[in-house]
Each structure stands twice: as C-alpha cells, then as structure tokens.
Amino acid sequence: MIPILGLVLGIVLGIVLEPGLPQFLQPYLPIAIVAALDALFGALRAYLEGTFTDRVFIVSFFSNVLIAALIVFIGDQIGVGSQLSTGVVVVLGIRIFTNAAAIRRALLHA
Amino acid sequence: MDLLKQVMEQPLDPDYAVLARRGEGSSRHRVLLAVVLVALGALLAVAVLQNTRTAGARATERSELIDRIQDQSARQDQLRTELENRQEEVRRLRESILGTKEDKDLQVELDRLDLLAATVPVKGPGIVVTVDDSPGDTSKGRVMDVDLQQLVNGLWQSGAEAIAINGHRLSARSAIRGAGSAITVNYRSLSRPYRVEAIGDPNTLQSRYIETAGGIWWSSLAQNYGMRHDIAAASELNLPADAGVGLRHARKGS
C-alpha cells in the first residue's frame, strides 16, 4: 500500500506544486526518469517474486539516477552526449521490458 | 556480447535475491522508501508537465524560423534582380561613354568577353533537351544532379556555346548540385521538368550529343528506368544572362 500511495502522492504534489529544477539539471531529467523507472520496475518484480527489500530499492534508485546522469554529463563534455544518452536509454529500456515481461507473467499466472 | 547477454538475462538487481536469502526484513526503512517514492512521482510529474508546456513554444519557434528563412530567400531574389539591373545599367553607360575608334575596338572586345562570360543574354539556334523523373517508379527513376551534370557535359562536348537549365544560364562559376531532394543551379532550386537549352550548330549539335557519354548515359536512363529524355531542335533560343557572383581572389595573370 505504502508504495502506491507514495507514488500517487508524489505525482499529485508534482502537478500541484510544480517544483522547478535548477537550469543546469534540466537536460538530464529525461534520462533520470528512465533510470528511476528501471529501478521501479525492478522493485516491482522483486516484490512479486517475494524478494523485495526497500534498502536495495532505495540504493538502486539513487545509484541508477546518478550514474545515468553522470554518463550523459560526461558524454556532453566530450561531445558524444546524444549517442551516450541513446545507449543508456537502450540498455535501460531493455531492462525495463524484461522486468515488465516477468511482472506480467507473475501477475497473470498467480 | 557479454554486456548484452547480461542486460537481457539479469535485469533484476541480484542484490534482491542476496538480501532475501539472508533473511533481512523488508520494512526496515519504510520512511525513506516513502520519501523516495514521493520524489519519483514528483520527478515524473515535473518532466511530463515541462514537456507538454514547451511543446507549444517549440512549435512557435519552428514556424518563426521557417518564416525567417522564407523572408531571407525572398530578399535574396530581390537582391539578385537588383544586381542584374545594375549590371545592365553599367553596360549601357559603358557603351555610351566609349566613342573613338580605339574605344569601339574595346567595346567589341568587351562584347565578346561578355558573351563568353555569360554576363549578357544570348540568342541563337540550338536544341532543347527536356528531362524528367520516370512517371511510375520514383525511387530509382529520379533525376539527380549527376544526371544533369552528364547531360550538360555532353552538350559542351558536342559544341554548345551557351547552356541554360530552366532559365538559369550556366557560366564559368555555375555548379549543378543536389541539395536534399532538389537540384540547384547557381544556388537556386529547380523544379521538374528540367528544360536544358543549348545554343550551337543546329545541324550537328543533336547528332554529336547523342554519341557523347552524356547522351549515352541518358539513353540508358530512358531505356532502363523510363525517365523522360526528349530532344527537340529550336530555331531561335533566348538565354538570359547570369548575374554571377563576381571574382574576389582571381586577378589578371601574365
């Protein structure tokens, strides 16, 4: 219950308060979202398989977001920002899809 | 390949299994979990809101840029017409100033050079070659800049003295380029069909052109891809002048 409520509360707060992100972080927002989604789907799958621990979710959330943003930031500095961003999105996307497939299997079979 | 295998076969953080085996409870950090989830939700909402907000601004920017491009193109055409008018005026003034016999010789020489440099309109007999894309298969049957280059080459080879494509005169500095899906001559886009007029000896121009590499190239294009390649003789062709871009680095040689 808490996770769903927390997520919904977060979305509502985001729409209502509209917090502004500092200007230099704006370009990394989409990548951070994809990384966060990857952590979220991983957590969902672990929960359905019975192996969920909030500690692992919290750590993977922060590390995913930070590392993805860092990779794109370094890519921007050396000039391959868009290519690295594409690479990160592809890898995270594959992980999200695989986890989503496992979630679907767990939900529809159980 | 190991990375791809790992990404596809191990999408779940293996720490989940490790900690589950160790038997740690799943609700040790409830508060932090809630905070992280709220942050995630807020992040999502902010990103979506920003994206939908800026979509309108981006569309306006784009249409503004398109308007500016069109304005500048119109201005360019305007400047070109003005350039042609000024050059015509310069020529008239030159003719009216040059009066003595020496000047008359100079005038004849200037006229000859003008003709060769394509800075004055010319007229004479010649042929008109009309080419176009094939009506059916448009992916392979499109006229490209190389095709026009071959055609013009063939015409020069067969003795053409002045050539114009769709009313744009070719001079010593003219380039036939492909830009995107359009062909440009003298930096102006051409629209189909392409009408190539060449002034030369009407008796031999056509027969010699067909035997040149350009003529053979186009015969095979017409045969294999069904592209249009019509040659017609013309008793009097009027080709306009090329306003030209002038010379900045080339000087009189010795």
Q: What is the ipTM, given to two decimal places?
A: 0.77
Going by C-alpha positions, the residue among B127, B142, B95 that lies closest to residue B206 is B127
User: Which residue carries 């800075």 as its tokens?
Assistant: B119
Check B36 against A57: CB less than 8 A apart.
Answer: yes
Q: Which of A2, A18, A30 sits opposite B34 (nearest CB)?
A: A2
Q: Virtual CA dihedral for B13, B18, B20, B24, nearest 10 degrees?
A: -110
Q: Which two tokens stand for residue A32?
A: 């951070």
β-bridge pairing B194-199 and B162-165:
antiparallel
DSSP per-residue string spanning B174-235: --EEEETTEEEETTEE--SSEEEEEES-TTTHHHHHHHSHHHHHHHHHHHHH--EEEEEEEE
Taking CB atoms and an 8 Å limit, are A54 and B27 in contact across chains? yes
Å from A15 to nearest chain B CA?
A: 6
Look up the pTM and report it. Answer: 0.54
pLDDT digits (tens, 9 = 90+) for B119-149: 888 899 999 999 988 887 677 788 888 999 9
Cβ–Cβ contact B13 with A under 8 A: yes
- In this predicted structure, what is the pLDDT of residue B99? 63
| Partner-chain residue, chosen from A2, A3, A42, that has the shortest CB–CB distance to B13 | A42
User: A69: which chain B residues are within 8 Å (Cβ-Cβ)?
Assistant: none
Chain A segment 85-104 residues within 8 A of B by beta carbon are 91, 94-96, 98-99, 102
pLDDT score of B199: 93
Q: State residue B251 phi and psi, 5-degree precision.
A: -125, 170
Of A3, A12, A94, the CB nearest to B37: A3
d(CA B106, CA B100) in angstroms, rounded, equals: 10
pLDDT in tens, B160-215: 999 999 989 998 888 899 888 888 888 888 888 899 999 999 889 999 999 999 99
- B121 burial type by CB count under 10 A (0-12 exposed, 13-18 middle, 19+ buried): middle
Residues of A in contact with B42 (CB under 8 A): 10-11, 13-14, 17, 19
pLDDT band at B27 (very low <50, low <70, confident <90, very high): low
Percent of chain B clearing pLDDT 90 (strictly above): 30
Tell me, yes or no, if B8 comes closer than 8 A to chain A by beta carbon: yes
Answer yes or no: do B11 and A32 touch at CB < 8 A: no
**Is the per-residue pLDDT at B216 higher than 80?**
yes
Q: Does A61 touch chain B (CB under 8 A)?
A: yes
Interface of B with A in 42-71 (CB under 8 A): 42-47, 49-50
Taking every pair of Cα atoms in chain B, the longest distance, rounded to a whole number of angstroms, is 113
Confidence category of residue B69, pLDDT binned at 50, 70, 90: very high
CA atoms within 13 A on the CB side of A107: 9
Higher pLDDT, B250 or B7: B250
Residue A39: partners with Cβ closer than 8 Å, 6 or more residues away: A57, A60, A61, A64, A65
Question: How many Cβ atoms are within 10 Å of A46's Cβ, its own excluded?
Answer: 25
Residue B158: the pLDDT is 92
**Nearest of B167, B165, B135 to residue B150 by alpha carbon:** B165
pLDDT at B189: 85
Whether A46 and B16 lie within 8 Å, measured CB to CB: yes
At B167, list the tokens: 């009313």
- Among B8, B24, B34, select the one facing A94 at the smallest CB separation: B8
